[in-house]
Structure 1
Amino acid sequence: MGESDALALRSSRFFSAVRGFANSKSALSRVLWNWSDPTRIAVSVVVGAAYVVVLSLLETEEYALWSSCAVWLVLLLHMPSLLHCLSMLSVDEEALQEKRYGRQRPMVAVLSTIVLYAGVYAVLNTNGVHEHDWGVPLKHERGTGAAMVEAFYLSVTVLTTTGFGDVTPTGVQGYIVVMLHQMVSWVHVLVLLGNVMAALVPVVDSAVPADGSKLRRHDEHQDYRLEEAVVRAMRQRNTRMAQTPQRAAVADSTLRTAFVHGAGVKT
């Protein structure tokens, strides 16, 4: 299997998984069940608590020195989620068929990515007490609920490639409505692409030979069609020249035998 075939296979399976997630009535319950593992809950609680502590330390002047390295700590806390998202790019087929997540694996990775970058943008907000050169200038003050919603809006808008000039909400309610609209629209896009890929991949697979055998069969088929056309033309000529149908059949059989043996084609 070539590299292009492997890419087409991975794309087909990815969109099929997303389409199956969108069409499944019990998808949400299965996602919640997959995340109900005690170890996963414990890790999530520890990471979430550390994340809250970091954000609280960033709000006080006396911890200004600490806030200079807090960004790297937040990124470190998000590394498991980031690695989980990057694992979607693995060429290993077993990763796509992992029983722990099933069809929900792509959607879990997408949601993890949104949460990851929303947290980074919230920490990098330069409207707080400690500014740095590579911050993100959000409209609301850091640590407030409006700033967190704005950080999520920034993450969803960038990841969905919507663009900030297309839609510009001015309040928290506008951020929430636009985010929901963007995510719902992308679900429709993924379902559409999944159906298109499911229809195109079998056609491409049948048209692209893996070892050249299909090309050889195609050439043989073309030779057979050419031979049939020549024999049909000669049959018509012999029919017009022959006095009786028996003589025309003998002439036709003789021409076919001579043509087939001369061209080296087996029928």
Structure 2
Amino acid sequence: MSIHSTAIVHPKAELDKDVTIGPYCMVGEHVKIGRGTELMSHVCIEGWTEIGHRCKFFPFVSIGTPPQHLQYHDEPTKVVIGDENILREYVTVNRGTAFGGGVTTLGKHNFLMAYVHIAHDCHVGDSVVMANAATLAGHIHIGSYAVIGGLVGVHQYVRIGDYAMIGGCSAVARDVPPYMRAAGNRSKLYGLNAIGLRRGGFSAARIRVLKQAYQVLFRKGQRLAEATKLARHQFQDSQDVLMMLTFLEASTRGVCRPARKGQDDQEEF
């Protein structure tokens, strides 16, 4: 374990072996940090925060600070961060609210670029990339392997599915289904995130079925509820499509609508 002489670490904080605390960092009383994690410099970790193994926090990261919500009254809510995450400069992660579940979570193998903000009661999956200054309001769910472009703002209570991609400078006010690309203010769907799926190991056959399902769901002129029932019958053997349909059926904010026909394969993010 290495703690710089200028760092302030509360004696009750729990630090595993091989933790590195750099210059001018602050670690609070209720913080737990897993083995091999590094706080480079000027990092502030406070509140009831649990951090996993081999994470790396760049300068001026702030974790576990109180939620930016007027109904928060110093309840002992939490932030839980998994293993092997990289948080670049000035990333902020607020802890949860008592009325919102009490915890903000970040999975494993995520890469949060500079100035990313994750607000109270958000839940981010695994292997997510959030580019510079991407911002999540409260109560947002981000699926695993999603990519959130730079300067994106996501409205509270929105869900973004697994392997989805959000283009830069977008404002996302409705749910984005798994495997899809979305962009714009307010965001619209631009077809399948085929490049991301290929990089994620999806076969050509799986991608082809998802493209067919997208056409049924969003390009046949039917109401989404009717299209969902049709797709569930037509693609009952595809676990990928069934997962997407379950996501759609659980939406409470509504789903981003598709862009004009002919733009699905033309929009470049």
TM-score norm. by structure 2 comes to 0.20
Higher RCO structure, 1 or 2 (CA under 8 Å, sep 6+) = 1
Higher strand share: 2
TM-score norm. by structure 1 comes to 0.20
Higher helix share: 1
